[in-house]
Amino acid sequence: MSLIHEALKKAEQKEKPNIEASSLPQKSASPPPKKRGLRVYLLLILLLLSIAGVGYFRFYKPHQEVISKAALAPQPSLLPQESSKEQLWLEAEQIFSNQDWNRGLQVFQRLLLTDPTNPEVYNNLGMIYKKMGQTKEAYKQYENALAIKPDYPEALNNLGALLLADLRLGEAKQNFEKAIVLKSNYPEPFFNLGVILEAQGDHRGALKNYQQFLELATDLDPDLYSKIKRRLSLLERRLL
């Protein structure tokens, strides 16, 4: 939650509130955005990545190449019993709210031993590695999930968020667009796609996607909702 507010605060500080008409981009030309501007917009991605703290962000699973079964094959004595497997999933449900990433890593690694072809486990591992700052490993886990289940909208969105943070906008955009096609009521990719369009100077397209995000993310707290609406009002002024 605090990450969301911090992201919006930083973005608003870098946007001068009193926008003069002369400072608005010319509609007849769309020069490529400055890199500094891109990074300002990318701060907003924290809004999406922090939605977990709001309460509706779901558990996802990883990406990249499928880990070989030989590498994953555990010793029989290490496999959790069925009852302990259920307990691990119950504990896994609390990982993101408790933000105990080290414990979360242990839980999902153990779950991986029981079900090495479950894309949800990989996606959750990717999220945990991302929270721990291990971006390369997060990439790998999201790709593992998508190798198993290519039509996995949450993993597509999570992988797209990493690509967006690395300024790989074209690849990120493809992931978000595919996630939206697969799951049209999933709010996060709409917001992420809006970030890219705003960075590219397509303010009308960005506004449309941000508004769609707000329509779908109905359980945002009032304070957060008002901050996003203020952000949208800046875009609306640019379109005048």
* Residue 10 pLDDT greater than 70, yes or no: no
Higher pLDDT, 23 or 142: 142
* Residue 180 pLDDT greater than 60, yes or no: yes
Contact (Cβ atoms closer than 8 angstroms) between residue 194 and residue 206: yes
Whole-number Å distance between alpha carbons of 125 and 230: 34
Token pair recorded at residue 173: 């955009």
- Domain boundary assignment for the chain: 1-16+32-58+152-240, 61-149
pLDDT of residue 61: 35
Does domain 61-149 sit in CATH 2.170.150.70? no
Confidence label for 12 from pLDDT (cuts 50, 70 and 90): low
Give mean pLDDT, residues 215-230.
88
pLDDT of residue 167: 95
Does domain 1-16+32-58+152-240 sit in CATH 1.25.40.10? yes
Kindly report, residue by residue over 75-106, the tens digit of the pLDDT. 344 444 444 778 888 888 888 888 899 999 99
Rounded to 5 degrees, what are φ and ψ at 61?
-135, 165
Equal CATH topology for 1-16+32-58+152-240 and 61-149 = yes
Confidence label for 39 from pLDDT (cuts 50, 70 and 90): low
Contact (Cβ atoms closer than 8 angstroms) between residue 195 and residue 45: yes
Confidence label for 188 from pLDDT (cuts 50, 70 and 90): very high
* 36: amino acid identity, one letter: R
Give mean pLDDT, residues 159-178.
97
Confidence label for 122 from pLDDT (cuts 50, 70 and 90): very high
Residue 177: exposure state from Cβ atoms within 10 A (0-12, 13-18, ≥19): middle
* Residue 194 pLDDT greater than 80, yes or no: yes
Give mean pLDDT, residues 105-121.
92
pLDDT of residue 18: 36
Q: What is the mean pLDDT of the chain?
A: 75
pLDDT of residue 224: 82
Contact (Cβ atoms closer than 8 angstroms) between residue 41 and residue 160: no
Kindly report, residue by residue over 57-71, the tens digit of the pLDDT. 333 333 333 333 323
pLDDT of residue 84: 78
Residue 1: exposure state from Cβ atoms within 10 A (0-12, 13-18, ≥19): middle
What are the DSSP calls for 76-125, one per residue?
GGGSPPHHHHHHHHHHHHHHHHHT-HHHHHHHHHHHHHH-TT-HHHHHHH
Give mean pLDDT, residues 156-165.
97
